[in-house]
Structure 1
Amino acid sequence: MKTVPLNEIFQVKYGVNLELSNIDKHKNGIPFISRTEKNNGLSAKVKLINGIRPNPAHTISVAGGGSVMSSFYQEREYYSGRDLYYLKPIMKLTKRQMHYYCMCLSANKYKYSYGRQANKTLNDLLVPLIENIPSWVNAVKIKQPNKKSAINKKLELNIDAWHYFRVGDLFDVVGSKSFTKTQISAKGVGKYPYVVTSSENNGIQGFYNHYTEDGNILTIDSATIGSCFYQCLEFSASDHVEKLVPNFKLNKYIALFLTTILNLEKY
């Protein structure tokens, strides 16, 4: 596949460089894009500022620092924070082709580990020629997500017979065998979750070819904010991941109900 420097396909521009803390937020405002790798780079929606023109629509935002090389297609005009570049296509590119280049740019993240920024090298980064974009980029059919609520009516719960319970009455609370990321990585990538002390992604940080704990139990983080998750599969764990082993017949519906209740106790 033939490649060319990025600046032969895009104009590489530095964004407007604003501080989010100094801008009024508004739910119907324009996007404020930062250096995060999540949520398409969106940190907030903000009011327009007189005299400050937003970055143009139909461009790619690229983080030059922070979550370096996190690259997202921006369909609307937007403001941006520090070390945020935008790429404006020199020739006509479709939305799908722009998404393809986002993928190509994000694939270069590994080059910028250990605090290295992309501000000096972004222009010369090699990307595929437009003619070399795979045919499936434009041919694949992508099903649009259904934005309607899956539940059309509010469920009424009869809580008259509910009562408080002690966790120890329903579960045996025991520790798990702990592995560092280096230790579990040595086992190789596989199908078993590696559960850590995180409040996101069901506590899972990867999947590896090793497990030490049985599934169909709850896990709870004993190091930070006490996030509780249901683990349906066998898994391995990092330090400070405790197990809630049920003293009753547990299924996923009961488990998800109980994790919701237990996570309300985090405050």
Structure 2
Amino acid sequence: MNRLSLNDWGWGEFRIKDLFETFIGTNGLQTPTGAYIPKKDLIDSITPRITVRDTNNGIDGYVESRHKNFRVFSNFISVSFMGSAFYHPYEASLDMKVHALIPRNFELTKNVSIFLIRSMKNNTKLFSYGNQLSSTDLPYQRILLPIDERNDPNWQFMEDYIKQEQKIITQKIIDYYKQQIFQEKFDLHGLEDIEWRTFKFNEIFKEIKRGKRLKKADHLEGDIPYVSSTSLNNGVDGFIDNKESVRIFQNNLTIANSGSVGSTFYHQYEYVASDHVTSLTLENADKYIYLFMATIVKRLEEKYSFNREINDRRIQKERLILPVNESGHPHWQYMSQYMQKIEAANINKVLEYMYISGSAGIRDGDFAG
């Protein structure tokens, strides 16, 4: 079977209101949208709350509410006024300035939604930063889609095209990780069969350095991860372009001093550290050693809390329990191999699933002709 191409069919221009539900509101034709609800009226529960955030599928928490403006939608695409767009096959509630694209007269599947979102993002006017797209502007925005013989959107082609791209990506992932497993076969003692010893933080880390304060108003939009005290998204709280009067690190750990105290993450990439995290750097450690150490350092979550922060003095006095070699020194090779073995076991599980399902996720950036 020949590979499907985006050039196989003609393309047509469609307005959002031709494809998705709209209604007549006080300001004219508009798409369904979310609404502001005071935090005191939101109760922790199971319904995803979709906000304008561009990570975690827009989900900012799981809630319920009896507030009159608490609106729930299902099987829709959320579009925020800042340009993020996600597919939600489940029931979800929308915050203010997040709009719901609910299909009219076609079946919205995961694959079709991936195609639609990519096409929407190709509309630079629709998703330009700062455009602050309103629910009354959205119905009149246009997107290009492949069309069938009747000049209608070719939904089946979109479905088949994304399935094809998923299979190609799946095979690349399988080939890569199979090779990884072959490279990581070795015998290893269990954690209970190796000796452990207590060390001070400053005996283990060659550098323990707190990040530097950078006021929100001074953030410059860019591509450098800004790591703060959040427990989500590997601690990344945004992306900035600041290079002066900041502290930049790479290939080490961060531990949150406040906020989500004790949250610990490994950063293989260059990042800017806020004053709410401390950077922990080892001597000549690979990523597997850092991943092992992250699980050990994270145990400080049990000791500290929002009301008891990890300040510079306290962290110097903290202790770690680590596996040691015959000389009584940290057994770095064991830590590295232990994490590699865990990775290989998890890769096996993923490959088994992928072989059975024959599918894998596809990102926006993977969508190409």
- Global fold match (TM > 0.5): yes
Q: 2:84 maps to which residue?
A: 70
CA 89–229 in structure 1, closer or farther in 2 if over 3 Å, else same: closer
Counterpart of 2:54 (choices 37, 54, 59) is 37
Q: How many Å separate the matches in 2 of 1:110 and 1:97?
A: 19
Q: 2:45 maps to which residue?
A: 26
Cα offset for 1:253?
A: 3.6
The answer to which structure has the higher helix fraction is 2
Establish whether residue 99 from structure 1 lines up as the match of residue 95 from structure 2: no
Cα offset for 1:128?
A: 1.4
Q: How many Å separate the matches in 2 of 1:173 and 1:112?
A: 38
Q: 2:95 maps to which residue?
A: 81
Counterpart of 1:265 (choices 300, 323, 329) is 300
CA 23–257 in structure 1, closer or farther in 2 if over 3 Å, else same: same
Establish whether residue 61 from structure 1 lines up as the match of residue 78 from structure 2: yes
TM-score norm. by structure 2 comes to 0.47
Q: How many Å separate the matches in 2 of 1:175 and 1:84?
A: 39
Q: 2:32 maps to which residue?
A: 14
Q: How many Å separate the matches in 2 of 1:16 and 1:245?
A: 44
CA 181–223 in structure 1, closer or farther in 2 if over 3 Å, else same: farther
Cα offset for 1:6?
A: 1.5
Q: How many Å separate the matches in 2 of 1:101 and 1:2?
A: 13
Opposite residue 10 of structure 1, the aligned amino acid is: F
Cα offset for 1:243?
A: 5.5
Counterpart of 2:227 (choices 197, 206, 211) is 197
The answer (yes or no) to whether the contact 1:220–1:242 under 8 Å persists in 2 is yes
Q: How many Å separate the matches in 1 of 2:12 and 2:196?
A: 66
Cα offset for 1:124?
A: 1.8
Structure whose CA Rg is larger: 2
User: Please, which runs of 5 or more residues in structure 2 have no aligned partner?
Assistant: 1-10, 23-30, 148-152, 171-189, 213-217, 242-247, 305-369
Counterpart of 2:290 (choices 251, 255, 259) is 255
The answer (yes or no) to whether the contact 1:62–1:86 under 8 Å persists in 2 is yes
Q: 2:202 maps to which residue?
A: 168
Q: 2:346 maps to which residue?
A: none
Q: How many Å separate the matches in 2 of 1:255 and 1:232?
A: 9
Q: How many Å separate the matches in 1 of 2:70 and 2:271?
A: 50
Q: How many Å separate the matches in 2 of 1:243 and 1:78?
A: 37
Aligned partner of residue 123 in structure 1, secondary structure: helix
Aligned partner of residue 105 in structure 2, secondary structure: coil
User: Please, which runs of 5 or more residues in structure 1 have no aligned partner?
Assistant: 144-155
The answer (yes or no) to whether the contact 1:14–1:83 under 8 Å persists in 2 is no
Q: How many Å separate the matches in 2 of 1:16 and 1:215?
A: 39
Aligned partner of residue 89 in structure 1, secondary structure: coil
